[in-house]
């Protein structure tokens, strides 16, 4: 816990004690001794608080060390201790309070870059934790030693365009090295040389085995672009006895678990919404921000331009029922002041969009756009392998395993869904109740799972090139293709029994992206094409199914 007394107040009280001692004829050193003893006792009980200063500078030599006369101090750059946010003065200097559990970080401004290490992970922070932080199962954060006399942050100029892409991975979540190999071949290999500005993983980087952090970092680094991280519930060390220890391994590899930065015209806010709870011998989590983080979010959102694009990156989406609802409503009210904001979450292993409205604390008539980004590992790397030995891992809502591409074009923000190892225009499954019939058919039931469709998309179908477009209705059902895939998997799994060489599929969930329509008309013998078209404010997609009537 922080000492509640700032250094300036302590100095003032010391001066007052000395003045009183002189007036009363008391030995000054004795009074000062008792004062310091009281301060040390309080510091031991509450945790010591210090003040640190430093400079944010243009690192002209790329040495990472501030060189007066060579490097240029940068005014107007935000720096935070995870709670307070201050801006550097005309000499590039800042001052912040630091406790024994503080991560200082610079808020990267637009058109500047922070150093990245050999694995493309940005290094924009300084960890101060003299006692270290770790659980008992995985190596966490080693003791950092005393606070330096100054903590300086280097920046390097970077020409950041108005239009850029961000690769968005959710729930890479390998259990072991074999599943990192799936990730490498299913998603990463096809992205090597990507022209995206940077990438991000929205938590559940691994599946409880924090010893895999290094291996997965090495794999994703082959893409060749800076890569940022969000902490997920499966990235916590549940052998720890406190919040810091639970995050020790994460801190060791990635730095602060919440922070913010700008790129081009947009601002990005990274949240750690995994509250680590200790209840006797039990360890579990709930979606919630701690008090310091909540203050940081309030300070940061008050500071930035409300009209610029704001992208919130988090692991557990806003629609999880486990949230502290009062806190969630507070956060949503803060976001309501930013009309061009969008939140990207993960966690569900389903891909969908929701417009969060009054039910989530927003003013009547307004909404906040939330995306539950589908998982790179799909359904936890489950299901029958394909010809390349990679499980199909179709998610419970029928979405194929894949990742998002956040496209920013000036002030416009939208998300593209990319199924792994599929063409860019593969955006839906079209399922028809009768793909083949020996007799004439006068009723077709067509279901389309349009993976990335917005909730208010208009979806239509027609039979043949000259048929009439018919509206399809959005339904809350299970994807019929996913059900058929599960049935086939179950059949093979039952035949193989205990010798099953892969992980069996899980259950099938209702999906937010399913539309259904019917055509009540006689179809002549022959081959017919069923067209399905989806239109929303972001995208227009079209796909087809081919059916045959007659022998």
Contact present, 510 and 440 (Cβ < 8 Å): no
Average pLDDT, the chain: 90
Q: In this predicted model, what pLDDT tens digit does every residue of 303-325 receive, in sequence order?
A: 999 999 999 999 999 999 999 99
Query: Tokens 């579990």 belong to which residue?
Result: 284
Contact present, 433 and 414 (Cβ < 8 Å): no
pLDDT at 14 over 60: no
In the chain, residues under CATH classification 3.60.21.10 are 157-419
Q: In this predicted model, what pLDDT tens digit does every residue of 447-492 receive, in sequence order?
A: 999 999 999 999 999 999 988 999 999 999 999 999 999 999 999 9
* Fold that domain 428-476+511-549 belongs to in CATH: Immunoglobulin-like (2.60.40)
Q: Residue 441: which pLDDT band, with cuts at 50, 70 and 90?
A: low
Q: Residue 152: which pLDDT band, with cuts at 50, 70 and 90?
A: very high
Q: Residue 435: which pLDDT band, with cuts at 50, 70 and 90?
A: low
Percentage of the chain surpassing pLDDT 90? Answer: 82
Q: In this predicted model, what pLDDT tens digit does every residue of 218-264 receive, in sequence order?
A: 999 999 999 999 999 999 999 999 999 999 999 999 999 999 999 99
The average pLDDT across 43-63 equals 81
Q: Which residues contact 531 (CB under 8 A, 6 or more apart)?
A: 461, 462, 463, 464, 465, 467, 542, 544
pLDDT at 39 over 50: no
Q: Which residue has the higher pLDDT, 40 or 59?
A: 59
CA distance 347 to 417: 17
pLDDT of residue 452: 98
Look at residues 114, 82, 96 and name the one whose alpha carbon lies nearest to residue 251: 82
pLDDT of residue 499: 82
Q: Which residue has the higher pLDDT, 498 or 367?
A: 367
The average pLDDT across 402-419 equals 97
CA distance 322 to 11: 45
Sign of CA dihedral 83, 89, 91, 92: positive
In the chain, residues under CATH classification 2.60.40.10 are 428-476+511-549
DSSP for 24-43? HT--HHHHHHHHHHHHHHHH
pLDDT at 73 over 80: yes
pTM for this structure?
A: 0.90
pLDDT of residue 497: 86
DSSP classification of residue 185: I
pLDDT at 200 over 50: yes
CATH of domain 157-419: 3.60.21.10
pLDDT at 69 over 70: yes
């Amino acid at each position: 816990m922080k000492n509640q007394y700032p250094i300036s107040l302590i100095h003032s009280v010391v001066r007052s004690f000395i003045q009183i001692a002189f007036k009363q004829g008391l030995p000054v050193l004795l009074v000062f001794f008792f004062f310091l003893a009281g301060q040390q006792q309080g510091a031991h009980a509450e945790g010591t608080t210090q003040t640190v200063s430093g400079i944010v500078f243009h690192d002209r030599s790329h040495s990472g060390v501030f060189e007066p006369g060579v490097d240029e101090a940068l005014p107007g750059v935000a720096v935070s201790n995870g709670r307070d946010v201050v801006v550097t003065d005309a000499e590039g200097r800042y001052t912040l309070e630091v406790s024994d559990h503080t991560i200082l970080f610079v808020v990267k401004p637009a058109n500047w870059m922070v150093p990245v290490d050999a694995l493309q992970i940005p290094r924009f922070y300084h960890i101060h934790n003299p006692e270290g932080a770790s659980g008992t199962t995985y190596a966490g954060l080693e003791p950092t030693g005393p606070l330096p006399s100054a903590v300086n942050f280097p920046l390097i100029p970077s020409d950041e365009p108005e239009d850029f892409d961000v690769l968005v991975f959710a729930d890479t979540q390998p259990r072991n090295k074999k599943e990192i190999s799936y990730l490498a071949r299913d998603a990463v290999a096809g992205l090597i040389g990507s022209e995206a500005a940077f990438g991000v993983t929205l938590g559940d980087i691994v599946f409880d085995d924090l010893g895999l952090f290094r291996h997965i970092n090495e794999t994703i680094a082959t893409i060749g672009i800076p890569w940022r991280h969000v902490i997920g519930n499966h990235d916590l060390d549940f052998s720890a006895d406190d919040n810091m220890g639970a995050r020790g391994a994460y801190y060791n590899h990635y730095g602060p678990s919440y922070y913010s930065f700008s790129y081009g015209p947009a601002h990005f806010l990274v949240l750690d919404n995994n509250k680590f709870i200790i209840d006797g011998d039990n360890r579990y989590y709930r979606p919630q921000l701690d008090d310091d983080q909540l203050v940081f979010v309030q300070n940061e959102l008050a500071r930035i331009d409300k009209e610029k694009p704001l992208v919130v990156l988090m692991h557990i989406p806003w629609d999880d029922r486990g949230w502290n609802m009062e806190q969630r409503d507070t956060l949503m009210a803060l976001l309501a002041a930013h009309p061009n904001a969008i939140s990207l979450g993960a966690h569900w292993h389903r891909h969908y969009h929701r417009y969060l409205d009054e039910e989530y604390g927003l003013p009547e008539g307004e909404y906040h756009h939330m995306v539950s980004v589908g998982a790179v590992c799909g359904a936890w790397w489950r299901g029958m392998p394909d010809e390349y030995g990679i499980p199909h891992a179709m998610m419970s809502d029928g979405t194929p395993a894949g990742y998002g591409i956040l496209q920013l074009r000036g002030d416009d923000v939208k998300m593209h869904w990319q199924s792994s190892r599929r063409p860019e225009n593969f955006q839906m499954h079209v399922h028809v109740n009768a793909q083949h019939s020996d007799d004439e058919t006068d009723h077709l039931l067509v279901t389309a799972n349009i993976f990335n469709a917005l909730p208010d998309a208009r979806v239509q179908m027609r039979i043949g090139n000259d048929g009439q477009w018919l509206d399809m209705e959005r339904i809350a059902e299970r994807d019929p293709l996913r059900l058929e895939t599960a049935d086939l998997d179950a059949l093979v799994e039952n035949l193989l029994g205990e010798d099953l060489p892969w992980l069996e599929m899980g259950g099938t969930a209702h999906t937010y992206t399913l539309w259904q329509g019917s055509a009540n008309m006689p179809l002549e013998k022959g081959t017919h094409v069923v067209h399905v078209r989806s239109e929303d404010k972001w995208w227009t997609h079209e796909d087809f199914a081919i059916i045959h009537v007659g022998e």
